[in-house]
Structure 1
Amino acid sequence: MARPRLAVRAAILRGDRLLVVNAYPPEYGSDLWCLPGGGAEAGQSLHENLIREVMEETGLSITVGAIILVNEFKDSKAGFHQVDLIHRATLSEGDGSAMVLADPEGVVDRARWVTRSELAKLHHRPRLLARAVWSDHAAWHDPMEETIW
C-alpha cells in the first residue's frame, strides 16, 4: 500500500447548517457526501491548503479554526490510504449562498447546507462528523475503515 495521502477538510457552519459536498465524481454513481477540502500540497501550511481547496471547490472564502476530527480511510483494492484533518472554519465573506462549483479536478459538482438531522439521513463520512461538528470537543479520531461505495 502507498504512503498515506494527507488531506484537509473544512467544517463550515452557517447557523445550524453544515456545508457538505459530493465525495466522488458523477461517473462513480456514489451518493457519498463529505466536507469540502482535499489533498495538502507540500510547501503550503495546512491552513493555506484548506483555504485554497475550499475556494477551488466552492468559491467560498474561509477563516480556518481548530482541528476537530482526524479521519482515516483506505481502499485496499486500489492501494489508497488517506488521512483527513478536519478543521472548524467560518465564512470570511458573504453568507455562503453564492457558491461557485468549479472544482479543477472535476470531483465536486454538488453542494448543500444540511442540518444535523438532515446529515444523519445522508450517506456521509466520516461517521463521527456530526458529533465533532455539533460539540465543543476538538480532535476526535474516527478509526480507519474501508471505503464504502
Structure 2
Amino acid sequence: MSIVGYDGAMAQEGADEPPELTSSTGFLLARLGAESRRRWARMLSERGLSPHHFGVLMALDQHGETHQQRLCEAIGVDPRNAVPIFDTLEAHSLIARTSDQTDRRKRAVVITAAGRTTVDELRRTGAALDHDLLAGLTDHQ
C-alpha cells in the first residue's frame, strides 16, 4: 500500500514503530506535515530564505505595495522581530522599502522584478515538492 509522501526514507525512519502508529491516519498526517515542513524549509534555505521571507514575498505578489506593519500581520510576526526579515529580502534585492510620505513612521514595501522572478521559481519548486509528497494518491483520493 502506498502512503502519501511516505517514501523509503520515511519508512526506514519509522521501521521500529508499532503497526498501530503506521496505520493511524492522524499519525501519518502529522508525519507528512513534518516532512513537508522539512522539505519546504530546506528548499527555502538553499535560496537564503525562510518561511517568513516566503510569506512576505507571496503577500506582496498578491496584494502589491503595502506597509511593513500589514505584512507583519499577514505572516504572523511581531513587528519588533520583523526588521531582519525585511533586511534580508532587501539585501537580496527582492523588495524595496521607502518612507511613507504621509507618515514617516511607516515604511512602504514593494516587491521588485527580482522578487517576482523568485516568487515564480518558488511556486514551481513548491508545486514539485507538493507533487512528490502526494505522489502516492490517486486523482480520486
TM (norm. structure 2) is: 0.22
Decide which structure has greater strand share: 1
Decide which structure has greater helix share: 2
TM (norm. structure 1) is: 0.22
Query: If you compute each CA radius of gyration, which structure gives the higher value, 1 or 2?
Result: 2
